[in-house]
Structure 1
């Protein structure tokens, strides 16, 4: 993703400190009425589409775990590591298409490419409801991963082009928190499907969830054709809310904050990207934060595994889907807190380290595991506090390679 930025660095590698680009707060620039209006409309259209799309994306991505603990396991006779493979096949597709999709987005208008991908993964999500075995789901999950690969980084890229350094992290944080909101909706929707639609028209509740997800995803994708503004130097002609004056103002904002003008990826920019230490540093950092915190993803399976002394399940299917909502609410709150602190304190790396230290606690408890049951519950809930690193990392990229 960083390949579309020219390699101008504002990072003091010797000291290892953030050096923020000039922004409204430090260069004395006073925003005009027109600039405030532009930012407001960016929030109303770009941010709104991105956030709702992210909620839907994570709803579509997380529903496989909710379905698994809500009847899919028994209906499809899944008795091994199929759930892990569902995630693995998704990630394989995601990784294969991630970079090509980001490159394509520098040649094809984002307002065409991103909604098109959303329509594709929405249709594929609906087809999961028709599956009868794990192999069919493996294939669908691979193609869903291919289609979803550009949604999150694609929106992050657009944010970098439209928002200034003091505006960026809080909006990235708000956008990123929509993952947790999508997870909360997935849990709540599966609970509703299990209780209200299980058996309707001869279909299990978990199958209905995929169908409803597909309808919502495909319907909303069409909004992107007019909501996404594309790039400041090549605005979307269908964006009714955007004017030529807005485009000129957006370019002035880029120049004022030493941001490079958006341009297609070519061999020179690719070479610049892969010879830049920032790419490898950030990649390593991001992989580490994802792997270290991934234990929270198995909260539902942990709840499903618990038994009472008489051998019966401790939690009902509805309880298994509802309890993790508390953790996701913690995630939403703290993603906002970390992002707001980042813009206010004008630092990224300090807060990333703080979250890493907090994340060590659940990592240690889950690794030991021979601890009281209350400590296990605590480890799952506390793990949600450290899931706000991604928006800080991507805001940091924008600082390091403007």
Structure 2
């Protein structure tokens, strides 16, 4: 692709920049729209459009055409991850949420595993077929898979417990009743359409309530710092591609450059699950966030030493650093679960906070990647790993401070809110027969 489209400068960085800008612009509107339009309609529709746009990459001739497609790709993708996180927060209790979000989050790495193997296979087997390069075939195949999966979403996404998807024939009424009953026990309430004027709990508009709450900014800053601070692993393939033998030939072939990072993706999947399960079992978020940030600091130190003195430092340390960096890619599910712990009775605030945090990350990433991780410097980045050390150290301080505030301020207020909800009794099970049915379903779900 680089050779066919004549990408000799920082075009690869600009591909990310244009995508991030569009993603950032559309994200919060999408989070608001999803409270009006059924997720089972909104999410699959954008996924199908995303697939069609992906297929158009196969006919691009230059970088400018890619820039345009990347903008529309960002607009369509902006609601996917935060929209699903909002759904998870509407269905699960604190003791099980990290595992669910963690499993979903790990699917990104699973996708990288599949795509890495698929890239190698397609480049090898379809190169030149019908006059198309292997990388163009990759977009064609990706588009077909995406459109089919997106169409399935119309029937598979269950929507919210209080308003389930009527097209989901696999979904039973008792599942929704059970979910609402379980959420009542945790003092949680249903999500409502987000407006500037519609009053909600305590008669305060949710948008104003969210943006006047200091918590949204703390969560946003911590999330941005951690994600930006661990971006280095995304450039593992550029590191592999830049390595040469003593005679100047490339050390790794294109196929090997696609296959080697699969090992890192496997480690990511395993440890995202480990962090998520430990979070629910130990009932803690902050300690595991601090642990992962600490690992990222160590990785930053290792790779800073290698990039500043590559001839005097074994290249094996760089390999170790890149693979170790995958251990710290599981903080997002813990941050979202921690947010849900903070605001169990504020679903609209949770949804907006997720949107603000992710939009903030893409806004920062749109300009920072070009400056911190310029493709021209790969793999000897002047400031990349140093910035990682600083950002992840900052995350440790924020997480510890937020934990202290949680114990001293947030937890007492939350407990009082839950007690009030229990006394008010938001919902009741209709009769003894429903209660038996719910109990049976609860056992089946376990």
Whether 2:56 is the aligned partner of 1:119: answer no
Q: TM-score, normalised by structure 2?
A: 0.73
Whether the 8 Å contact between 1:292 and 1:363 is mirrored in structure 2 is no
Whether 2:312 is the aligned partner of 1:375: answer no
Cα distance in 1, alignment partners of residues 262 and 154 from structure 2: 32
Whether 2:164 is the aligned partner of 1:235: answer yes
Aligned residue in 2 for 1:390: 332
Whether 2:292 is the aligned partner of 1:360: answer no
Q: Deviations over 1:111-134 (max 9, x none)?
A: 000000100111111101110000
- Which range moves more in the overlay, 239-248 or 156-165? 239-248
Aligned residue in 1 for 2:342: 400
Alignment of 1:124-143 (within 5 A): 124-143=53-72
Whether the 8 Å contact between 1:111 and 1:228 is mirrored in structure 2 is yes
Cα distance in 2, alignment partners of residues 178 and 117 from structure 1: 19
Q: Deviations over 1:79-114 (max 9, x none)?
A: 000111111111111111110001000000000000
Whether the 8 Å contact between 2:236 and 2:322 is mirrored in structure 1 is yes
Alignment of 1:96-245 (within 5 A): 96-245=25-174
Q: Deviations over 1:136-160 (max 9, x none)?
A: 0011011101100111111111111
Cα distance in 1, alignment partners of residues 168 and 207 from structure 2: 30
Whether the 8 Å contact between 1:174 and 1:335 is mirrored in structure 2 is yes
Residue 2 of structure 2 aligns to a residue in which SS? helix
Whether the 8 Å contact between 2:303 and 2:317 is mirrored in structure 1 is no
- Which range moves more in the overlay, 241-250 or 116-125? 241-250
Whether the 8 Å contact between 1:160 and 1:398 is mirrored in structure 2 is yes
Tell me the CA shift for residue 205 of structure 1.
Answer: 0.4
Whether the 8 Å contact between 1:282 and 1:393 is mirrored in structure 2 is yes
Cα distance in 1, alignment partners of residues 28 and 270 from structure 2: 31
Aligned residue in 2 for 1:76: 5
Cα distance in 2, alignment partners of residues 387 and 394 from structure 1: 14
Aligned residue in 1 for 2:184: 255
Gaps of 5+ in 1: 1-71
- Which range moves more in the overlay, 327-336 or 234-243? 234-243
Whether the 8 Å contact between 1:93 and 1:143 is mirrored in structure 2 is yes
Q: Which of 330, 333, 336 matches 2:270? A: 333
Highest CA radius of gyration, 1 or 2?
Answer: 2
Cα distance in 2, alignment partners of residues 183 and 385 from structure 1: 16
Residue 143 of structure 1 aligns to a residue in which SS? helix
How many residues are aligned here?
331
RMSD, aligned α-carbons: 1.0
Aligned residue in 2 for 1:311: 248
Residue 271 of structure 1 aligns to a residue in which SS? helix
The 4+ residue runs of structure 1 with deviation greater than 4 A are: none
Tell me the CA shift for residue 365 of structure 1.
Answer: 2.6
Aligned residue in 1 for 2:226: 289
Whether the 8 Å contact between 1:331 and 1:387 is mirrored in structure 2 is yes
